[in-house]
């Protein structure tokens, strides 16, 4: 019994540490809200909405079919139908709770101090009953969840289905609070809070001298990471403790994987990504994304992304930097770290460069803009593949908006189910993978089945928030004016080349045709910057996407999204307010290098800004500490006081150089503050009753 009680106690304790914050506001179809080009005709919402003009017309037709004669009831029913267009509709309809036919109607106890408008809002369910209970309604949306399925398509009154107002509101009513929202007849708005003060600065220490393009934490949860360079080598490195004064430990002469014989490395070509299977500890599977040259490596050759399926003739592309069209390819290949029965994958220090399986091979029209990052989704276990528009100024062939092209897209692949040759042929797949059943093509038959989202120029570094997996953020490189960060959702169209960030873009040439702005519902960036904001010696700015900061090393940076410019001239922190709203403000950070850095940092002439060189990527270790991967080395974010930055939340006395540092994750007290009070009380009560029952049994 003692073991059982201990287990129950630990379970309850861990549950208290879970962050119950709500996800980014989505529509009922789990896509992001967007700003329509023209106001909706029927459901007249302002700002971001979840309905396009076609869906708006469908709601109007549904309303007309209800044939409601009473004007008061009709007005309420119209607002209820139109709530599907509200930017918080997934919360209103409680998608995860399967309540999908009507929104949760506000129905709360009225306090003596409530104003008249507050009373009306929190009694909206009662108002609907009072206005509509004796009105005949054809195919009432409320009868869809009624008690008599025979009445679903009939003309009925609420009193035919529900014996009383209380019964009706017990079924369809609900209160705001506890992290939830309810519908009061108008657009939902979240309570705003004062924007948190921006951090005083970002403090770095230099822990490595190599130039790497990828950092991936070891799947075993240890203090080890995999570091890959553009040439094709990957090393297994040990991360030093914060404040220890030590550097990254790795043996340059003994890489974990060496693909330099297969990888073609150039300015925008090379080894682009590495991802470890969610079950790597058991199966040893991992995947590498790289570029190869079919002239040097015949097995590199595959289908050209410029082909008749997408209305493109490769013979008309011309040469690019001396290369033939589709001379270079983008490849995803599977490798294995499976050892013998006595050697588990986590113990393997190096693997042979032998492919287990070629997952995808695609010829590239030009030598630039082909992304290449790969990530496994933390919730679905599928492989996400980031691909740019293929190059050429202004995406001349309009690949990004072409739904049959994989260029300018984020793809989502199932690498656990290997298809048959017939399945590959029937679906026109590019390799050995299957299509997840819930990919957007199931709703939009025009889409190539691999596509998860479209309208990107060159997505350069994406990440899932470690604490809110629904937040999938990607930085997308701009053309002339704007660099952007997007929250990526299923089926989302992010605008390129119709838009560059929030601005209309006029391409210099259009041999591939144009896409009209009225034909798409673009999702605009949540963060970004104009090129004029960046001081650069030459060339145009180029964004490098990062991570939400989830370490407690710098508690004043916690929960902010960090991103930077390739040229190392600026680092930004994006702060979301209100939390989980998708509304971000950005701050350009002061950046310094700690004077006690293990490797001394050079500084930009005439400033204290460290000379980082090109910042090509970010990294995150198993402790959620963040790293900047730059051409001048590897830099880790450290506690702000080491750079004399003020952070009132930092416990300086508990952290001195040479110590093991603060807890790598938020403290129990810090995490408990994110749990809504009612959920916390319910959880405590449930655990207490369970422990009491077991103790007395």
- What DSSP assignment string belongs to 212-235? -SEEEE-TT-SSEEEEE-TTSEEE
Note whether 596 and 642 are within 8 A (CB): yes
Note whether 479 and 504 are within 8 A (CB): no
HSE-CB at 88 with a 13 A cutoff on CA atoms is: 21
Note whether 481 and 468 are within 8 A (CB): no
- Round to whole Å and give the CA distance between 174 and 169: 8
The helix, strand and coil proportions of the chain, stated in percent and rounded to the nearest 5, come to 20, 25, 55
Kindly tell me if the per-residue pLDDT of 535 is higher than 80.
Answer: no
3-state secondary structure (DSSP) of residue 41 = coil
Q: What does the pLDDT read at residue 140? A: 85
- Strands laid side by side in the 626-630 sheet: 591-593, 202-208, 633-637, 626-630, 615-620
Q: How many CB atoms lie within 10 A of CB 368?
A: 20
- Round to whole Å and give the CA distance between 667 and 85: 39
| Helix 165-172, helix 124-132: angle, nearest 10 | 130
**Residue for token digits 């809070």?**
193
Q: What does the pLDDT read at residue 143? A: 73
Note whether 152 and 137 are within 8 A (CB): no
Q: What does the pLDDT read at residue 19? A: 43
Q: Are strands 591-593 and 202-208 parallel, antiparallel or unpaired?
A: parallel
The DSSP code for 177 is: B
Terminal CA-to-CA distance of the chain, rounded, Å? 10
Kindly tell me if the per-residue pLDDT of 548 is higher than 80.
Answer: yes
Q: Which of 397-401, 418-422, 457-461 has the lowest mean pLDDT?
A: 418-422
Kindly indicate the confidence band of residue 308, based on its pLDDT and cuts at 50, 70 and 90.
Answer: very high
Kindly tell me if the per-residue pLDDT of 511 is higher than 80.
Answer: yes
Kindly tell me if the per-residue pLDDT of 23 is higher than 60.
Answer: no
Torsion-angle region of 311 (φ positive above 0: left; ψ -120 to 50: alpha; else: beta): left
List pLDDT tens digits, range 178-195. Answer: 567 889 888 887 665 566
Q: How many CB atoms lie within 10 A of CB 509?
A: 10
Average pLDDT over residues 3-9: 50
- Round to whole Å and give the CA distance between 375 and 329: 19
Q: How far is CA 145 from CA 101, 102, 134, in A?
A: 7, 9, 18
Average pLDDT over residues 282-289: 96
Which phi and psi angles does 647 have, rounded to 5°? -140, 110
List pLDDT tens digits, range 321-335. Answer: 778 889 999 999 999
Exposed, middle or buried: residue 533 (CB in 10 Å: 0-12, 13-18, 19+)? Answer: middle
Give the residue among 321, 317, 356, 316 at the shortest CA–CA distance from 336.
356
Kindly indicate the confidence band of residue 145, based on its pLDDT and cuts at 50, 70 and 90.
Answer: very low
Kindly indicate the confidence band of residue 170, based on its pLDDT and cuts at 50, 70 and 90.
Answer: confident
- Round to whole Å and give the CA distance between 167 and 163: 7
- Round to whole Å and give the CA distance between 31 and 691: 41
- Hey, where are the domains in the chain? 1-18+675-697, 21-174
- Round to whole Å and give the CA distance between 407 and 64: 42
Residues for the chain: how many in total? 697
Q: What does the pLDDT read at residue 205? A: 97
Question: Sign of dihedral through CA atoms 67, 71, 77, 82?
Answer: positive
Which phi and psi angles does 319 have, rounded to 5°? -90, 155
Q: Are strands 503-504 and 527-530 parallel, antiparallel or unpaired?
A: unpaired
Kindly tell me if the per-residue pLDDT of 468 is higher than 50.
Answer: yes
Give the residue among 288, 292, 287 at the shortest CA–CA distance from 266.
292
**E strand or H helix that includes residue 204:** strand 202-208
Note whether 565 and 532 are within 8 A (CB): no
Mean pLDDT value across the chain: 85
- Round to whole Å and give the CA distance between 487 and 572: 16
- Mention every residue, 6+ apart, whose C-beta is less than 8 A from residue 87: 25, 27, 33, 45, 47, 48, 49, 50, 187, 188
Q: What does the pLDDT read at residue 14? A: 47
- Round to whole Å and give the CA distance between 70 and 78: 12
| Helix 677-696, helix 2-16: angle, nearest 10 | 180
The DSSP code for 329 is: E
The DSSP code for 499 is: E
List pLDDT tens digits, range 473-482. Answer: 999 999 999 9
- Round to whole Å and give the CA distance between 332 and 385: 9
HSE-CB at 494 with a 13 A cutoff on CA atoms is: 31
The DSSP code for 145 is: G
Kindly indicate the confidence band of residue 573, based on its pLDDT and cuts at 50, 70 and 90.
Answer: very high
3-state secondary structure (DSSP) of residue 619 = strand
Q: How far is CA 651 from CA 294, 625, 638, in A?
A: 56, 17, 13
The β-bridge partners of 478 are: none
Strands (DSSP E) along 296-381, which ranges?
328-336, 357-363, 374-376
Kindly indicate the confidence band of residue 682, based on its pLDDT and cuts at 50, 70 and 90.
Answer: very low
- Largest interatomic CA distance in the chain: 82
Kindly tell me if the per-residue pLDDT of 664 is higher than 60.
Answer: no
3-state secondary structure (DSSP) of residue 58 = helix
- Round to whole Å and give the CA distance between 213 and 373: 10
Q: What does the pLDDT read at residue 341? A: 60
Give the residue among 364, 371, 348, 209 at the shortest CA–CA distance from 276.
348
Q: What is the dihedral of CA 158, 163, 169, 170, to 10 degrees?
A: -140
The β-bridge partners of 202 are: 591
Kindly tell me if the per-residue pLDDT of 88 is higher than 80.
Answer: yes
Note whether 81 and 66 are within 8 A (CB): no
Note whether 408 and 392 are within 8 A (CB): no
Kindly tell me if the per-residue pLDDT of 360 is higher than 90.
Answer: yes
Q: What does the pLDDT read at residue 678? A: 40
Q: Which of 167-176, 357-366, 467-476, 517-526 has the lowest mean pLDDT?
A: 167-176
- Round to whole Å and give the CA distance between 484 and 488: 12
Q: What does the pLDDT read at residue 155? A: 66
CA triplet 355, 359, 360: central angle to 5 degrees?
120
List pLDDT tens digits, range 231-267. Answer: 999 999 999 999 899 999 999 999 999 999 999 999 9
Note whether 382 and 376 are within 8 A (CB): yes
Give the residue among 430, 373, 440, 438 at the shortest CA–CA distance from 405.
430
Q: What does the pLDDT read at residue 111? A: 42
Residue 438 tokens, joined: 């819930």
Does residue 663 or residue 173 have the better pLDDT? 173
| Helix 71-82, helix 53-66: angle, nearest 10 | 150
Give the residue among 409, 413, 411, 261 at the shortest CA–CA distance from 334.
413
- Round to whole Å and give the CA distance between 633 and 643: 19
The DSSP code for 572 is: E
């Amino acid at each position: 019994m003692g073991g059982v009680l201990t287990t129950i106690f630990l379970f309850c304790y861990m549950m208290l540490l879970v962050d119950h914050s709500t996800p980014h506001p989505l529509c009922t179809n789990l896509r992001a809200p967007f700003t329509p080009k023209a106001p909706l005709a029927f459901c007249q919402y302002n700002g971001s909405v979840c309905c396009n003009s076609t869906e708006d017309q469908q709601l109007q037709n549904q309303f007309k079919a209800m044939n409601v004669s009473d004007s008061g009831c009709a007005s309420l029913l119209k607002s209820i139908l139109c709530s599907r267009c509200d930017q918080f509709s997934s919360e209103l309809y409680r998608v995860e709770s399967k309540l999908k036919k009507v929104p949760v109607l506000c129905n709360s106890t009225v306090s003596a101090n409530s104003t008249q408008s507050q009373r009306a809002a929190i009694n909206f369910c009662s108002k609907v009953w009072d206005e509509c209970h004796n009105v005949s309604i054809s195919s009432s949306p409320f009868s869809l969840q009624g008690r008599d399925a025979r009445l679903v398509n009939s003309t009925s009154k609420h009193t035919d289905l529900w014996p009383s107002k209380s019964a009706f509101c017990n079924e369809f009513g609900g209160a705001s609070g506890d992290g939830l929202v309810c519908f009061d007849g108008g657009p939902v708005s979240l309570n705003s809070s004062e924007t948190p003060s921006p951090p005083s600065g970002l403090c770095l220490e230099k822990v490595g001298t190599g130039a790497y393009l990828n950092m991936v934490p070891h799947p075993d949860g240890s203090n080890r990471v995999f570091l890959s360079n553009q040439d094709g080598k990957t090393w297994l490195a040990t991360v030093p403790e914060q404040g220890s004064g030590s550097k990254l430990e790795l043996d340059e002469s003994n890489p974990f994987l060496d693909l330099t014989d297969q990888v073609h490395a150039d300015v925008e070509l090379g080894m682009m990504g590495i991802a470890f299977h969610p079950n790597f500890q058991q199966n040893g599977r991992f995947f590498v994304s790289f570029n190869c040259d079919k002239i040097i490596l015949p097995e590199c050759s595959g289908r050209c992304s410029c082909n008749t399926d997408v209305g493109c003739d490769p013979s008309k592309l011309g040469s690019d930097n001396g290369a033939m069209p589709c001379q270079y390819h983008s490849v995803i290949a599977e490798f294995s770290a499976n050892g013998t029965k006595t050697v588990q994958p986590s113990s393997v220090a190096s693997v042979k460069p032998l492919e287990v399986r070629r997952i995808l091979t695609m010829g590239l029209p030009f030598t630039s803009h082909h992304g290449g990052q790969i990530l496994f989704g933390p919730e679905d276990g599928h492989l996400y593949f980031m691909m740019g528009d293929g190059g050429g100024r202004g995406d001349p062939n309009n690949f990004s908006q072409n739904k049959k092209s994989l260029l300018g897209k984020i793809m989502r692949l199932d690498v656990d189910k290997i298809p048959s040759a017939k399945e590959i042929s029937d679906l026109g797949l590019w390799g050995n993978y299957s299509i997840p059943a819930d990919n957007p093509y199931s709703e939009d038959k025009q889409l190539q089945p691999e596509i998860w989202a479209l309208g990107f120029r060159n997505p350069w570094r994406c990440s899932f928030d470690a604490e809110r997996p629904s937040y999938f953020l990607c930085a997308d490189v701009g053309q002339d004016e704007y660099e952007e960060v997007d929250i990526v959702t299923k089926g989302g169209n992010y605008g390129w080349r119709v838009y560059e960030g929030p601005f209309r873009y006029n391409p210099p040439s259009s041999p591939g045709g144009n896409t009209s702005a009225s034909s798409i519902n673009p999702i605009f960036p949540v963060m970004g910057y104009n090129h004029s904001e960046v001081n650069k010696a030459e060339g145009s700015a180029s964004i490098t996407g990062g991570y939400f900061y989830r370490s407690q090393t710098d508690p004043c940076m916690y929960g902010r999204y960090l991103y930077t410019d390739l040229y190392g001239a600026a680092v930004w922190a994006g702060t979301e307010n209100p939390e989980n709203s998708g509304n971000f403000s950005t701050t350009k950070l002061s950046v310094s290098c700690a004077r006690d850095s293990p490797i001394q940092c050079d500084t930009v002439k005439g400033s204290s800004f460290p000379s980082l060189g090109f910042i090509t990527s970010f990294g995150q270790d198993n402790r959620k500490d963040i790293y900047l991967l730059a051409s001048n080395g590897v830099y880790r974010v450290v506690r702000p006081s080491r750079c004399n930055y003020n952070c009132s939340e930092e416990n300086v006395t508990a952290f001195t150089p040479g110590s093991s540092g603060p807890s790598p994750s938020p403290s129990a007290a810090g995490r408990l503050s994110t749990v809504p009070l009612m959920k916390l009380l319910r959880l405590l009560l449930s655990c207490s009753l369970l422990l009491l029952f077991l103790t007395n049994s």
